[in-house]
């Protein structure tokens, strides 16, 4: 193993049989493992017969831990980063650490790929590529409203993570903006009570069910009208103004709407400033 290397190691999202031999081998050989939850990682390592030093690395201690991790890597140690499930640093603790390592220079990153809830759900959804990964939506305020508007305006499939106690609100917020778009639900993937479902989002909202287990939602692409329609500048301008009202800078709003609509940014900029 290369000294001064951080290994990003994927762990099972449910079924332990999905854990790769290489992932187990790497965890058994590194000098230490950075874990989102040392209890979860400890149980996983214990079941695999792995005895390794575990250090907590989660959302609440990231800034404090990063200098320590960089020092250990500088000393030539090999470390692994794992989240509770799936690929670390993807809507999980670790992104700031990876960024800090690249900024530091002289250290190495190595990826040990494996299970990913986002990729698994998108593959099972049947929606066409491309797609965008949004992760967890902001919980409240203008930031949440802006995120939901952006998801709704994205013309292709969008993958979101959601905790069970927030599912009802998220579905209601989505349906109020996107209408009755098709959506795919993956709940408890690879586990005993796995549930995969696809249909109108309003049907999922009206079910008023009690949610249990981690969920992945894949919002289907907006329906496209055949043929090439003329550009509706008024509609695009209204969308820009909508984003600006959420606190986004006008230039950033124009850039986002241009990306969403496929209209050249320069053309949209000229239209906005000629009004």
Per-residue pLDDT reduced to its tens digit, 130-184: 999 999 999 888 888 888 888 888 889 999 999 999 999 999 999 888 888 899 9
Q: Same domain, yes or no, for 122 and 211?
A: yes
| β-bridge partners, 35 | 56, 82
Cα–Cα distance measured from residue 206 to residue 146, given in angstroms and rounded to the nearest whole number: 24
Q: How many domains does the chain have?
A: 3
Last residue of a domain, one of 98, 115, 132: 115
Q: Same domain, yes or no, for 11 and 109?
A: yes
Per-residue pLDDT reduced to its tens digit, 82-95: 999 999 999 888 99
The predicted structure's pLDDT at residue 133: 95
Last residue of a domain, one of 115, 146, 177: 115
The predicted structure's pLDDT at residue 227: 45
Q: Same domain, yes or no, for 103 and 134?
A: no
Q: Which helix (H) or strand (E) holds 136?
A: strand 131-136
Q: Same domain, yes or no, for 136 and 123?
A: yes
Please report whether residue 179 resides in a domain. yes
Q: Say whether 242 sits in a helix, a strand or coil.
A: helix
Q: Which domain holds residue 55?
A: 5-115
Q: pTM value?
A: 0.77
Please report whether residue 226 resides in a domain. no
In angstroms, what CA-CA distances link 96 with 74, 142, 144?
Answer: 17, 24, 22
Q: Same domain, yes or no, for 13 and 96?
A: yes
Q: What are phi and psi of 272, to 5 degrees?
A: -65, -40
CATH number, domain with residue 88:
3.40.1010.10
Q: Spell out a b/e string for 27-61, using b for 16 or more CB atoms within 10 Å of the CB, else e.
A: beebbbbbbbbbebbeebbeeeebebebbebbeee
Please report whether residue 77 resides in a domain. yes
Per-residue pLDDT reduced to its tens digit, 222-273: 875 444 456 788 888 898 888 889 888 888 888 888 877 777 788 888 888 7
Q: Which residues contact 168 (CB under 8 A, 6 or more apart)?
A: 205, 208, 211
The predicted structure's pLDDT at residue 228: 44
Q: Same domain, yes or no, for 84 and 160?
A: no
Cβ contact 29:78 at 8 Å = yes
Exposure on the CB side of residue 71, measured as CA atoms within 13 A: 5
Per-residue pLDDT reduced to its tens digit, 61-119: 999 999 999 999 999 999 999 999 999 999 888 999 999 999 999 999 999 999 999 99
Please report whether residue 228 resides in a domain. no
Please report whether residue 58 resides in a domain. yes
């Amino acid at each position: 193993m290369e000294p001064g290397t951080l290994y990003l190691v994927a762990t099972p999202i449910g079924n332990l049989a999905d854990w790769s031999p290489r992932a187990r081998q790497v965890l058994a050989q590194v000098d230490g493992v950075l874990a989102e939850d040392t209890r979860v990682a400890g149980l996983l390592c214990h079941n695999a017969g792995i005895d390794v030093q575990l250090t907590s690395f989660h959302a609440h201690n990231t800034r404090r831990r990063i200098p320590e991790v960089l020092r250990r890597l500088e000393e030539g140690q090999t470390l692994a980063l794992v989240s509770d499930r799936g690929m670390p640093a993807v809507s999980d603790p670790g992104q700031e650490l990876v960024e800090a390592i690249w900024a530091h220079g002289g250290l190495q990153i190595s990826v040990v790929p494996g299970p990913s809830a986002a990729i698994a759900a998108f593959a099972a959804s049947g929606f066409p590529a491309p797609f965008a990964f949004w992760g967890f939506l902001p919980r409240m305020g203008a930031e949440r409203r802006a995120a939901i508007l952006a998801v709704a305006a994205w013309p292709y499939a969008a993958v979101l993570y959601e905790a069970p106690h927030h599912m009802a609100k998220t579905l209601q917020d989505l349906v109020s903006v996107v209408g009755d778009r098709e959506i795919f639900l993956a709940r408890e993937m690879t586990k005993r009570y796995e549930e995969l479902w696809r249909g109108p989002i309003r049907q999922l909202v009206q079910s008023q069910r009690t949610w249990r287990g981690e969920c992945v939602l894949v919002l289907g692409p907006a329906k496209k009208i055949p043929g090439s329609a003329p550009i509706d500048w008024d509609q695009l301008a209204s969308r820009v103004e909508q984003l600006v009202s959420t606190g986004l800078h006008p230039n950033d709003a124009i850039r986002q709407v241009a990306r969403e609509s496929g209209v050249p940014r320069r053309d949209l900029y000229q239209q906005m400033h000629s009004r």
